[in-house]
């Protein structure tokens, strides 16, 4: 691994070589280191902390046992909620806020390196969000199609239910036959007679006149 590409902002070459050598053995398939920041305190920093950004993870490299060992605090980009940095008199304090658990911070990161860290970390977080949006969109398409089919089925069911059922054995009732004019006149004449509005002789006379029209 060529370390020159990671020494663009005055990173300490010896520390970079040591940390990059350890990180190389920890990288997964398709994982690549994007940036490396190395702590630089006002006094001589013999065993500095480091922060490494890859396209898959964020590494906090914390030396222990006088530099004989290194503790790695590792987060995937899904584990990171956000990152921030605060410029101070000597360097900057870089902070990672995980989705769960306590924040992890390293101070005395050179200001230029802290700004680059912030930039590269946010680029990876944006890529993660874009993948999530694309995944949600892909999952939403079949769901919408299913909803449309369900709506169509419901519409079809309603339309079918609205059609009245006609039994094959049922027949429409025959309309009553209209009475002819002579019959109506005879009925009216009889009503008049029953109400005693005309005499027997008048009834018989009118009845004979009506019947003569047949």
Give the model confidence (pLDDT) of 132-178 as tens digits.
Answer: 888 887 777 665 555 555 555 554 554 545 555 555 555 555 555 56
Which phi and psi angles does 35 have, rounded to 5°? -155, 150
| pLDDT for 202 | 85
| Segments making up each domain of the chain, as ranges | 4-135, 181-211
- What is the C-alpha separation between 177 and 182, in angstroms, rounded? 14
Q: Give residue 200's pLDDT.
A: 84
pLDDT: which is higher, 29 or 197: 29
**Which residue is it, tokens 């590409």?**
5
Mean pLDDT for 107-116 is 96
Q: How far apart are the first and last CA of the chain?
A: 126
| pLDDT tens, position by position, 53-72 | 999 999 999 998 887 899 99
Q: What is the pLDDT of residue 145?
A: 52
Closest CA to 127 of 135, 137, 116: 135
Placement of tokens 């094959």 in the chain? 168
Using alpha carbons, select from 53, 44, 92 the residue that is nearest to residue 74.
53
Say what the pLDDT of residue 174 is: 54
Name the more confident of 47 and 66: 47
Instruction: State the average pLDDT for the chain.
Output: 84
Q: Into which CATH architecture does domain 4-135 fall?
A: Roll (2.30)
Percent of the chain's residues with pLDDT above 90: 51
Segment 195-200 shows an average pLDDT of 83
Cβ atoms of residues 94 and 118 within 8 Å: yes
């Amino acid at each position: 691994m060529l370390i020159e590409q990671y020494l663009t902002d005055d990173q300490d070459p010896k520390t970079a070589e040591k940390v990059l050598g350890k990180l190389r053995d920890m990288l997964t398939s398709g994982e690549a280191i994007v940036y490396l920041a190395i702590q630089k305190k006002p006094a001589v920093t013999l065993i500095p902390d480091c922060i490494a950004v890859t396209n898959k993870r964020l590494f906090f490299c914390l030396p222990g046992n006088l530099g004989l060992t290194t503790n790695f605090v590792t987060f995937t980009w899904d584990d990171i909620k956000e990152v921030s940095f605060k410029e101070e008199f000597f360097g900057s304090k870089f902070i990672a806020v995980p989705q769960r658990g306590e924040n992890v911070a390293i101070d005395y990161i050179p200001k230029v390196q802290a700004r680059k860290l912030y930039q590269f970390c946010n680029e990876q977080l944006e890529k993660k969000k874009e993948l999530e949006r694309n995944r949600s969109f892909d999952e939403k398409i079949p769901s919408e199609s299913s909803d449309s089919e369900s709506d169509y089925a419901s519409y079809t069911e309603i339309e079918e239910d609205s059609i009245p059922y006609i039994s094959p054995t049922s027949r429409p009732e025959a309309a009553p036959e209209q009475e002819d004019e002579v019959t109506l006149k005879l009925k009216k004449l009889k009503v008049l007679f029953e109400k005693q509005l005309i005499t027997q002789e008048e009834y018989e006379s009118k009845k004979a006149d009506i019947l003569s029209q047949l």
